[in-house]
Structure 1
Amino acid sequence: MSIKSIAAKIFARKIYNQTLSWANKPIETQIEVFKSLIENAKETEFGKDHNFASIKTFEDFQKNVPIRDYEDLKNYIEKVKAGEENILWKGKPLYFAKTSGTTSGAKYIPLTKESMPTHVNAARNAILHYINETGNADFVDGKMIFLQGSPILTEKHGIKFGRLSGIVAHFVPKYLQKNRMPSWETNCIEDWETKVNTIVGETINENMSVISGIPSWVQMYFERLQERSGGKKISEIFKNFNLFIYGGVNYEPYRAKFEQMIGKKVDSIELFPASEGFFAYQDSQKEKGMLLLLNSGIFYEFIKADEFFTENPKRYTIGEVELGVNYALIVSTNAGLWGYNIGDTIQFTSLAPYRVIVSGRIKHYISAFGEHVIANEVENAMKEATAGTNIVINEFTVAPQITPANGLPYHEWLIEFEKEPENIEIFAEAIDDSMRKQNIYYDDLITGNVLRKVVISKVSKNGFQEYMKSQGKLGGQNKIPRLSNDRKIADNLK
């Protein structure tokens, strides 16, 4: 055992104990975060516009600060981008993280000197919790790869602009710099296919122990490695690869494909990062869900998803949430976001401590007939339908077909198979059965002959990659929506 791995275990125990200190008093922790946020921002333009000086309670805050999305906050953000100070948060932010907006074009999310460390520390602490629980620290001596966006930044009015993953690349601790791959020059390559091919060349002969990234793009990296190595399993190429770290999408639909490519099972750690904040990470290999980070300068509110689009829906705080309910996640942060709807929906899997899963996007659902099918339901259906079979899925998405040429409307599942089912109709039936068990409204529509059962359409090899490429969204933090309420993606794929 190396000195580095021994030190990692000692540090991991320290961080674990620190986590217990706030996780065991969640409501008190959130109250302290709330008070700190209000106090630090009461002299900002936003704070003055929303009477922060008079806010003492959560109820005061909710009366003065409505729920907002990016468009509602854009006027303030434009002032910050123009170099004005004390607008959303004291002073000016260090960075703007540029993200792809579905309705707003590019979005620019501020990162401040107070918020930036929480992104870095959360990623580190996720790994340290894994070390503390499993005792496995040998991987710290191997090479680690983080598939991410370019770290090249621009600057205007003293604020740097870039992709979140590229910004975070500037904060990799010195003790990891020698282990970190790919090289800085390769990380700066903008074209994703060129970048992945270059990464393959740099890493194929290295002792890779940790691989991290969005599953769909790590899958592309693995495929290129296998092409270069003559079809070897990833575990043959990287004999000490034992830990996969991911975020952005649910890993379960990819798990069978990954285990086939890797040639063995490897441990995994799920993260829940976003430009708006690092919200949660998997703190245990034994428990379902990710630990919600209640002490990271983020005050959380939750709106039940089925009430979200009603007038003045109730905003719940951490002490009021329930297990298994689908909530829209609302945040106020030390980067200057206030009552901000990040667009993700979550469900609590534990209340002691508070653990969550990401169940989908509040605007990504199918409700063409009132069924309100969410991402978590279609992912569970796919998992159940493929369990115990040899079927392997590369990627899939779901869309409604409202006006078919013949017969009743239906939900169309567009699937790129690595290994197809022997009988596509039996497979579709299994998916449909699972959907009906999970969603009573969908079941009613099938029973009432309003909808016909699931229809599967095969997508050609690399069809999803080609679609993303055509949209200028190949690689990086981009990902295919698991489902949508229109046919934009479906018709492009077909």
Structure 2
Amino acid sequence: MSIKSVSAKLFAKYIVSKTKKWSQNPGATQQQVFEYLISKAEKTRFGQDHDFKAINSYEAFKKNVPIRDYEQLKPYVEEVVAGKKDILWPGLPEYFAKTSGTTSGAKYIPITAESMPMHVNAARDAILHYIADTGKSDFVDGKMIFLQGSPELQVKNGIKTGRLSGIVAHYVPGYLQRNRMPSWETNCIDDWETKVDAIVEETHDKNMTVISGIPSWVQMYFERLKAKRKQPVGDIFPNFELFIYGGVNYEPYRKKFENLIGRGVDSIELYPASEGFFAFQDSQSEKGMLLLLNSGIFYEFVKADSFFDENPERLSITQVELGVNYVMIISTTAGLWAYNVGDTILFTSLKPYRVVVTGRIKHFISAFGEHVIGKEVEEALSAAAQQHQVQVSEFTVAPQINPASGLPYHEWFIEFEREPQDFDAFAKAIDENLQKQNSYYYDLIVGNVLRRLEIRKIPNGGFNNYMKSQGKLGGQNKLPRLSNDRKIAEALEQLNF
């Protein structure tokens, strides 16, 4: 065992002991975060607009600060983007994490000098908790690959701007730099296919022990490795023992990964976002991820089934229950206040607080990290239908993760009033319209992670038959436009259309 491996175990023990202190006192930990946030931002524009000076309790905060999503917070964000100081948080942010907007263009999520270390430390602590939990640490001596966005950043009114993964790449600790792959030059390649090929060339003969990334992208890397070496990934990298992932559910990919690798490997699930690093898997035996209550984020929760009520009840961490689907609301050291991230979560444990991500508050598809929402598919279909003089009576969309052959794709189940003359051209038009709206989907198509959508024709009355078979025909029941699994798709298939 190397000095580095021994040191990692000692450091892991120290970090886990710190985690236990705050996780065993969740209410006090969150109260401390809450008080700090309010006092720190009291003199900001947002703090003055919402009378932070008078907020002396969580109840007062709820009265003064309504829940907002990005669009509702956007007037404040735009002032920050314009270079104005002391708007949402004292001074200016260090970075903007630029994300694909699902409603109106790009989003600029501020990252401040206080919030940035939380992203870095959480990723580090996830690995250290794994070491403490399993006793495994030899992997720290091998090479580690992080499949991520380009670290090249733009500057907007003096503030560096880029994708979160590219920003975080600037903060890889010095003790990991020698182990880290791919090279900086390769990481800066924009074209994903070119980048993956370069990563394969750089890594196929190295002692890779840790691989991290979104499962759909890592799968593509594994497939190209296997094609080059004509061996399972586990034989190419005999010491590969840890896969770290986030962004999408790994379970649909697990069997495929084990086939590509040739064996099982341990995995760590992370819950990072541009808005904050919320949780990580702290145990290989317990379900869920440890919610990070001491990382500059104050959490609130609203039951998902009442979220769209006029005045839904807002709950603090000490008020939540097991097995309830909640919308997660955050206030942070980056200046996000009662901010609706859009995710829904469920608690699997209250001692400590562990969560699983159950989806989005609105219907969506993100089986591959594409974050496609209802508005986007509806507009893509509408534009294509107008272009091809088609009339659609009903439709729903589902991911096809494991097709019989070829790349995965989105499968569109459509019932027509008037069919297209050319189904292939119609499918292409829908796909191109969707790519224009959603840059994540575009990247997946261009990167050959997904192939173009396919249309499955449903006969007249087919969706009514489906709703009837589910006991949901008529009344207030609505067919979801899209879903992140194939439950509806499989039910439709069983009707033998």
Give the TM bin, normalised by the shorter chain.
0.7 to 0.9
For 1:6, give the aligned amino acid.
Answer: V
The alpha-carbon deviation at position 479 of structure 1 amounts to: 10
Paired position in structure 2 for 1:274: 273
**CA RMSD for the aligned pairs?**
3.3
For 2:400, give the aligned amino acid.
Answer: I
In 1, the alpha carbon distance for the partners of 2:285 and 2:482 equals 39
| Aligned counterpart for 1:417 among listed residues 385, 388, 402 | 402
In 1, the alpha carbon distance for the partners of 2:447 and 2:33 equals 29
- Cα pair 2:398 2:484 within 8 Å, conserved: no
Residues 1:469 and 1:205: Cα distance change in structure 2 (over 3 Å): farther
Residues 1:221 and 1:41: Cα distance change in structure 2 (over 3 Å): same
The alpha-carbon deviation at position 228 of structure 1 amounts to: 1.2
Tell me if 1:297 matches 2:296. Answer: yes
Residues 1:411 and 1:302: Cα distance change in structure 2 (over 3 Å): same
Paired position in structure 2 for 1:472: 442
In 1, the alpha carbon distance for the partners of 2:174 and 2:448 equals 28
The alpha-carbon deviation at position 477 of structure 1 amounts to: 13
Q: Number of aligned residue pairs: give it.
A: 416
- Cα pair 1:119 1:278 within 8 Å, conserved: yes
In 1, the alpha carbon distance for the partners of 2:371 and 2:167 equals 30
SS at match of 2:152: coil
Residues 1:219 and 1:396: Cα distance change in structure 2 (over 3 Å): farther
**C-alpha offsets along residues 220-248 of structure 1, whole Å, 9 cap, x if unaligned?**
11111111112x11001111000000000
Identical-pair percentage:
63
Tell me if 1:352 matches 2:337. Answer: no
**C-alpha offsets along residues 19-64 of structure 1, whole Å, 9 cap, x if unaligned?**
0000000000000000000000000000000000000111100101
The alpha-carbon deviation at position 469 of structure 1 amounts to: 8.6
Paired position in structure 2 for 1:248: 247
SS at match of 1:473: helix
Residues 1:475 and 1:143: Cα distance change in structure 2 (over 3 Å): farther
In 1, the alpha carbon distance for the partners of 2:190 and 2:353 equals 38
For 1:213, give the aligned amino acid.
Answer: G
SS at match of 2:87: coil
In 2, the alpha carbon distance for the partners of 1:475 and 1:41 equals 42
Paired position in structure 1 for 2:236: 237
Residues 1:170 and 1:413: Cα distance change in structure 2 (over 3 Å): closer
- Cα pair 2:153 2:160 within 8 Å, conserved: yes
Residues 1:27 and 1:471: Cα distance change in structure 2 (over 3 Å): closer
In 2, the alpha carbon distance for the partners of 1:77 and 1:194 equals 35
- Cα pair 2:99 2:163 within 8 Å, conserved: yes
In 2, the alpha carbon distance for the partners of 1:276 and 1:470 equals 18
SS at match of 2:341: strand
- Cα pair 2:397 2:482 within 8 Å, conserved: no
For 2:262, give the aligned amino acid.
Answer: G
Residues 1:244 and 1:69: Cα distance change in structure 2 (over 3 Å): same
Paired position in structure 2 for 1:309: 308
SS at match of 1:280: strand
In 1, the alpha carbon distance for the partners of 2:280 and 2:79 equals 33
1:3-402 matched pairs, under 5 angstroms: 3-230=3-230, 232-364=231-363
In 1, the alpha carbon distance for the partners of 2:152 and 2:108 equals 16
In 1, the alpha carbon distance for the partners of 2:81 and 2:274 equals 16
SS at match of 1:165: helix
| Aligned counterpart for 2:481 among listed residues 478, 481, 486 | 486
Q: What is the TM-score of this pair, normalised by structure 1?
A: 0.78
For 2:186, give the aligned amino acid.
Answer: T
- Cα pair 1:148 1:476 within 8 Å, conserved: no
Gaps of 5+ in 1: 366-373, 380-392, 421-463
Paired position in structure 2 for 1:432: none
